Amino acid sequence: MSTNEPVVSVEWLHANFREADLKVLDASSYLPDEQRNPFEEYQVARIPGALFFDIDRISDQTTDLPHMLPSSGAFAAAVSALGIENKDGVVVYDGKGIFSAARVWWMFRVFGHDRVWVLDGGLPRWRASGFDVESSASSDAVMKVNAANKAVQEVYHGLAVGPTKFQTKFRPHFIWTFQQILQNIEDKTHQHIDARSKARFDGVAPEPRKGVRSGHIPGSKCIPFPQMLDDLQTLLPTSELRKRLEQEGISLDSPVVASCGTGVTACILALGLYRLGKTDVPVYDGSWTEWATHPANAVSTSTSTSCPV
């Protein structure tokens, strides 16, 4: 597999998923109003041998913000509990096509692991291609998933965890903080693109998370994440990706930072930009949910350039 491409096809995975040094992860996650349980769905139907990666549990346990990036130690402990080592290739998929899988692809890269890919089209594409799914998760698989989630809790409680076979190398330039976004409004060093829907970005549709106002960060531009995908929920070819970005006035010659609602679909923008050769696009981890909770922050909408949250 080439690290020049961020995705692999279902045909490639079907031919290689039983290789010992290839690990497959179901990283499905859904918005609150969808009322879907990704772990239950994983237990009902999964790509053979896949383990479940819970982005809500393998996350920073010191914040109320959803699925924020965990510490290096917590990530290493969780991934080790799943049986993943640095020598392994990792393919991540989800139940929508390309949605939350891109978040886990980004997480591995933040922690220094480049042998990671998103399954193009995800589980829907796998099933549509006629490939088999397992209808029940083995006890060993469930045990590993539980062990990974438990390891995160133990790290944050200062408890000793088992040996970590996966070693991290944290790349701070892949992740942006609130302060960096705030500074970028003044300095404009990076083009800021937001993956949310245009209606949410414009402030005319509600956010899916209760209590979070709609609107956008001043100076940001809207490229809804579905614009990175085709009708089969696979990543667009380079020519189409380039066209979508140029239509919104995004220059590939200048740095880009991506955000969204909670740092998940921003990673789809990073995935598309990776295909175009921009392999170091940072993601604002707290994204709109964090920004909108700061009372002093300016919020732009389609009807006003700036208003208090």
- Using one digit for the tens of pLDDT, what is the confidence trace for 8-42? 999 999 999 999 999 999 999 998 889 899 999 99
User: Smallest Cα–Cα separation from 14: which of 144, 121, 143?
Assistant: 121
Question: Is residue 167 included in any domain, yes or no?
Answer: no
Question: Is residue 194 included in any domain, yes or no?
Answer: yes
Q: How far is CA 81 from the centre of its chain?
A: 20
Based on the domain organization, do 91 and 221 belong to the same domain?
A: no
Q: What is the average per-residue pLDDT within 124-144? A: 95
Cα-flanking dihedrals φ and ψ of residue 270, to 5°? Answer: -65, -35
Cα-flanking dihedrals φ and ψ of residue 40, to 5°? Answer: -65, -40
Question: What domain range includes position 21?
Answer: 7-156
Give every strand in the sheet of 51-52, ordered side by side: 7-8, 116-119, 89-93, 22-26, 51-52
Question: Is residue 166 included in any domain, yes or no?
Answer: no
Cα pseudo-dihedral 275, 281, 282, 285, rounded to 10: -30
Neighbours of 186 (CB within 10 A): 8
Residue 308 predicted with pLDDT over 50: no
pLDDT at 306: 42
Based on the domain organization, do 61 and 89 belong to the same domain?
A: yes
Pairing of strands 298-299, 307-308: antiparallel
Question: Is residue 251 included in any domain, yes or no?
Answer: yes
pLDDT tens profile 87-130 = 999 999 999 999 999 999 999 999 999 999 999 999 999 999 99
pLDDT at 222: 97
Residue 294 predicted with pLDDT over 90: no
Based on the domain organization, do 129 and 71 belong to the same domain?
A: yes
Question: Is residue 95 included in any domain, yes or no?
Answer: yes
Based on the domain organization, do 186 and 214 belong to the same domain?
A: yes
Based on the domain organization, do 258 and 194 belong to the same domain?
A: yes
Residue 241 predicted with pLDDT over 90: yes
Based on the domain organization, do 16 and 118 belong to the same domain?
A: yes
> Residue 146: CB partners within 8 Å, gap ≥ 6?
none
Residue 136 predicted with pLDDT over 70: yes
Based on the domain organization, do 146 and 244 belong to the same domain?
A: no
* Beta strands per DSSP E along 123-198: 175-176, 191-194
Residue 151 predicted with pLDDT over 80: yes
Question: Is residue 163 included in any domain, yes or no?
Answer: no
Based on the domain organization, do 228 and 97 belong to the same domain?
A: no
CB 69 within 8 A of CB 168: no
Q: Is 260 a catalytic residue?
A: yes
As a whole number of angstroms, the distance between CA 148 and CA 144 comes to 6
Based on the domain organization, do 92 and 50 belong to the same domain?
A: yes
Q: Where is the domain boundary, 108, 127, 156?
A: 156
> Residue 69: CB partners within 8 Å, gap ≥ 6?
59, 60, 75, 107, 110, 175, 263, 285
Amino acid at 221: K
Question: Is residue 1 included in any domain, yes or no?
Answer: no
User: 81-92: buried (b, 16+ CB within 10 Å) or exposed (e) per residue?
Assistant: bbbbeeebbbbb
In this prediction, residue 304 has a pLDDT band, given cuts at 50, 70 and 90, of low
- List the catalytic residue out of 222, 260, 267, 307: 260
CATH number at residue 203: 3.40.250.10
Residue 307 predicted with pLDDT over 80: no
pLDDT at 158: 97
pLDDT at 2: 67
Average per-residue pLDDT for the chain: 94
Q: Where is the domain boundary, 156, 182, 216?
A: 156
Based on the domain organization, do 268 and 237 belong to the same domain?
A: yes
In this prediction, residue 249 has a pLDDT band, given cuts at 50, 70 and 90, of very high
Based on the domain organization, do 191 and 151 belong to the same domain?
A: no
* Count of domains observed in the chain: 2
> Residue 10: CB partners within 8 Å, gap ≥ 6?
119, 120, 121, 125, 126, 129, 131
Q: Where is the domain boundary, 125, 156, 187?
A: 156
Residue 309 predicted with pLDDT over 60: no
Stated length of the chain: 309
Question: Is pLDDT larger for residue 262 or for residue 163?
Answer: 262
pLDDT at 174: 98
Residue 73 predicted with pLDDT over 50: yes
Question: Is residue 34 included in any domain, yes or no?
Answer: yes
Based on the domain organization, do 184 and 141 belong to the same domain?
A: no
pLDDT at 52: 98
